[in-house]
């Protein structure tokens, strides 16, 4: 290796930007979804619902951070072996990652369900009614931890394979299309609980999309 004069490569820059578009979509859509969530909560529950949702977001960041950290951490390794043509390593990484996420998702969801009231009491122990609302919301919302890890990993996996289009499609459907649709549809069917189930259903729908892409792209990238 040796130092050489750097050259401006617009094509490479644009490729890097497009490949990272899924992460951009995720962050942009989160703000929009949060606003819509708050509007629906004010309509169906009132200010207590907004408070409960804020608490859920704090808790969710802790649990989802595990998946996010793993996805980001493995991306360079996946990208390296893809670039080196090490298909066997790609297969091994995918299988081990899916197994690890499966075990982690079961453990974290179980913990969240069991400790829902304890977690809620950290924030709203001063109000019995709000505590009940938040506990119920956490127990429903925590079901997302069963599937969200797979969707995060799938999006990161395709980013690492330099397929920004697929990664962006997963993120766009998961964090914007499915969530916004469910935010407005499920409350009409399930009432208040429909708001908390919105993300759960959105994640399940996203899992179907992620699985479909992993199956259809397996021959192209030779990871299965």
Question: Tens of pLDDT along 64-88?
Answer: 999 999 999 999 999 999 999 999 9
Q: Are 197 and 139 in contact (CB under 8 A)?
A: no
The mean pLDDT of the chain is 91
Q: How many CB atoms lie within 10 A of CB 202?
A: 27
Q: Which residues touch 203 (CB under 8 Å, ≥6 apart)?
A: 144, 147, 148, 151, 174, 178
Q: Are 122 and 99 in contact (CB under 8 A)?
A: no
Q: Are 119 and 56 in contact (CB under 8 A)?
A: no
Question: Tens of pLDDT along 186-202?
Answer: 999 999 999 999 999 99
Question: Tens of pLDDT along 150-183?
Answer: 999 999 999 999 898 898 899 889 988 999 999 9
What is the average per-residue pLDDT within 36-41? 92
pTM for this predicted structure: 0.88
Burial class (CB in 10 A: 0-12, 13-18, 19+), 65: exposed
- Residue 179 is predicted with a pLDDT of 93
Question: Tens of pLDDT along 92-138?
Answer: 999 999 999 999 999 999 999 999 999 999 999 999 999 999 999 99
């Amino acid at each position: 290796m040796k130092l050489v004069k750097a050259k401006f490569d617009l094509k490479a820059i644009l490729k890097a930007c497009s490949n990272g578009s899924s992460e951009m979509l995720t962050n942009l859509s989160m703000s929009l979804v949060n606003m819509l969530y708050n509007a629906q909560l004010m309509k169906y529950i009132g200010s207590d619902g907004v408070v409960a949702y804020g608490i859920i977001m704090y808790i969710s960041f802790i649990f989802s951070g595990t998946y996010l950290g793993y996805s980001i951490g493995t991306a360079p390794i996946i990208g390296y072996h893809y670039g080196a043509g090490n298909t066997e390593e790609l297969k091994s990484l995918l299988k081990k990652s899916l197994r690890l996420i499966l075990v982690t998702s079961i453990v974290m969801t179980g913990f969240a369900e069991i400790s829902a009231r304890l977690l809620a009491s950290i924030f709203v122990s001063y109000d019995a009614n709000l505590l009940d609302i938040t506990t119920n919301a956490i127990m429903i919302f925590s079901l997302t931890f069963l599937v969200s890890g797979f969707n995060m990993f799938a999006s990161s996996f395709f980013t690492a394979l330099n397929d920004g289009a697929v990664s962006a499609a997963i993120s766009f459907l998961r964090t914007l299309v499915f969530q916004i649709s469910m935010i407005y549809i499920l409350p009409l069917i399930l009432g208040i609980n429909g708001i908390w189930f919105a993300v759960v259903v959105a994640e399940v729908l996203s899992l179907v999309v992620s699985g479909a892409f992993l199956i259809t792209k397996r021959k192209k990238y030779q990871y299965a």
